[in-house]
Structure 1
């Protein structure tokens, strides 16, 4: 009897649990939003039509110096002369710094005395060897001493020459790093010289436009500091590798002007007229969905949004050329696609 009561209790409990779960399921389903299949979604549309896709694209960059170098001496010592000021123009081989070379000159003088002694030994040994009064090895040793001493003198003279530091090219001293009387070591920076007789404008060009440029091509350059003046530059380099955003560096060299001087760091831009087909079927960029390899768009047909694959060609900042999948006059959705599925009823604005 007890077993029957226990079984009935378990069955009652399971039945109550099942009823509770079913009731909760109905309550949850009642709260879930179910879109009305007959409700129309408001969207904005545009007409696919033939357009003249041509635009002038501006690529902005900044000017960098033609050449720039930090002057570093190949010798160390105290600076005795520093005949320049920051901002001064210096020509090629202009004296930048003169280091103390007194100790080196003393060493050269001592070696020259030693050399003179070896030369006298050679003359004496030469006479004695001819008279068989001394072995020839003494003469050879004296000759080798002369060669070794001459090599030491050359080395010291090279070190003395290194104490005179000159400018390798003409330019402006843009940074003075030491003062007269300072003690510098080999390789310590003394000054920075910048050559802006010509400048390099580096701009980043996107992948879709990089093939419109070539090395040696002349381009007009516009600057913010001289908005009404056009400079002419020539492409000197096109990058072989793009960055993560698929932009490629293009370097344009422009000669500086005395009447309208440019400075490194100024902004400049190049204008490239990208003329496409005079008449091509195009839609606004906002209409395209998906990736560039598999573009899609919604076309409004009989009050419904129909998702269609298309093929795109040339692009501008506002339009995509459609090469396949669309007809002139088709109404394409340009806004509201997030609320659409294939076949959704729409009302076009």
Structure 2
């Protein structure tokens, strides 16, 4: 009897549990959102059209000086003249510094006296040789002494010339490292001269855009300091090797002017435009969903949003070129895709 009662209690418990689970499932199902098949979703659409597209790429860079050099002497000594100040404009050949050259001049003078003595000896030997009073070898030795001493004079004259340090090209003295009276050795930096008569705008261009540039190409340059002025630039260098990020340096030469003076270190921008060949079927960028590897869009057909795979080509700031999967004149969804599924009824707003 006890076993029958236990069995009946167990069956009752299982039945109650099953009924409770079924009841909970029905309540949960009632709470799940079920889209109304007759409710239309509002979307914005645009027409796929054939357009003349252009690819415009903007690149930011900074200006560098055309030339810059640290002036270093080839000789050493005390600086007795230093007629430059920072910010001064110097021309090519302008005196930058003068080193003390007294000792060199004294040595040259002594050697010139010595050469004069050798020449006098040579005249006497030539007279004595004619009378067989001295061997002819004395003439040869004296001639060699003259030549050797003249070579020493040339070396000293070269050192003397090195005591005069001049600017190798026109520019601005952007740094002065020494003062008059300083004693310097060969190779000591004296001053820095920077040539900004022409500047080089250096920009880093990604691999996919490098073929948009060619040597000698004219290109417009804009600057932050003169936003309303457009400078004429010319491509003077296209880098042959890129960095780890596959960016290549491009140099654009820009002539400087007093009216709109540019300085090294300023920012500059170039915008390079290349036209696509012929007409291109395109849609607004907002129409594309998914990834660039698997692009998709919604096409409105008879009031229904149809999800369609497409292939894209070139891109601009506003449009994607469609190379496959779409026909001109079809309406594509450009806003509201988040509420859509394939086959959702829609109404254009």
Distance 2:123 2:345 in 1: 115
Question: Does the aligned pair in 1 maintain the 2:108–2:153 contact within 8 Å?
Answer: yes
Gaps of 5+ in 1: 1-35, 338-342
Verify: 1:50 aligned to 2:39, yes or no. no
Rounded to whole Å, the distance in 2 between the matches of 1:184 and 1:344 is 82
Between the aligned partners of 1:73 and 1:156, the Cα distance in structure 2 is 16
Query: Cα offset for 1:62?
Result: 1.2
- SS of the residue corresponding to residue 251 of structure 1 reads strand
Change (3 A) 1:330 1:79: same
**8 Å contact 1:48–1:281 — kept in the other structure?**
no
Mapped contact 1:91–1:171 kept (Cα < 8 A): yes
Structure 1 SS opposite 2:186? coil
| Matching residue of 1:9 | none
CA–CA distance in structure 1, aligned partners of residues 331 and 101 of structure 2? 86
- In the alignment, the residues of structure 1 paired with residue 290 and residue 244 of structure 2 have an alpha-carbon distance, to the nearest angstrom, of 22
In structure 2, the CA distance between the partners of 1:336 and 1:108, relative to structure 1 (3 Å rule), is farther
How many residues are paired up? 302
User: Equivalents in 2 of 1:274, 1:56: separation in Å?
Assistant: 7
Kept in 1: contact 2:48–2:332 (CA 8 A): no
Q: Structure 2: how far apart are the matches of 1:47 and 1:173?
A: 61
C-alpha displacement at 1:256, in angstroms?
0.9
Q: Deviations over 1:35-58 (max 9, x none)?
A: x9x99xxxx998783364335432
Query: What pairs up with 1:154-165 in 2 under 5 angstroms?
Result: 154-165=154-165
**Corresponding residue number in structure 1 for 2:4:** none
Question: 1:309 offset after TM fit, Å?
Answer: 7.5
Structure 2 stretches lacking a partner, 5+ long? 1-31, 36-42
- Provide the C-alpha distance between the structure 2 equivalents of 1:256 and 1:99, rounded to a whole number of angstroms: 34
CA offset digits 1:193-242 (Å, max 9, x no partner)? 01111111122223333323222222222111111111111222222233
Give the drift of 1:331: 6.1
Aligned to 1:19: none
**SS at the partner of 2:69?**
strand
Partner of 1:238: 238
Match of 1:150, SS?
helix
1:296 paired to 2:297: no
TM norm structure 2: 0.74
The residue number in structure 2 matching 1:260 is: 260
Would you say the 8 A contact 2:94–2:166 is kept in 1? yes
Q: Which residue of 2 aligns with 1:111?
A: 111
Aligned equivalent of 1:181: 181
1:60 Cα deviation (Å)?
1.4
Q: Name the CA shift for 1:46/1:147 in 2 (closer, same or farther; >3 Å).
A: farther
Post-superposition CA distance 1:154-192 (Å, at most 9, x none): 100110110000111111100001111111111111000
* Counterpart-to-counterpart distance in 2, 1:335 and 1:76: 79
1:313 aligns with 2:290: no
Counterparts of 1:207 and 1:285, CA distance in 2: 26
Q: Residues of 1 paired with 2:203 and 2:253: CA distance?
A: 11
Cross-structure match for 1:73: 73
**TM-align CA RMSD:** 3.5
Q: Which residue of 1 aligns with 2:229?
A: 229
Report if aligned partners of 1:46, 1:283 keep a CA contact under 8 Å in 2. no
Distance 1:78 1:288 in 2: 75
- Alignment map for 1:147-158 (pairs within 5 Å): 147-158=147-158
**How many angstroms does 1:270 deviate by?**
1.6
Q: What SS class does the counterpart of residue 138 from structure 2 fall into?
A: helix
Distance 1:348 1:187 in 2: 80
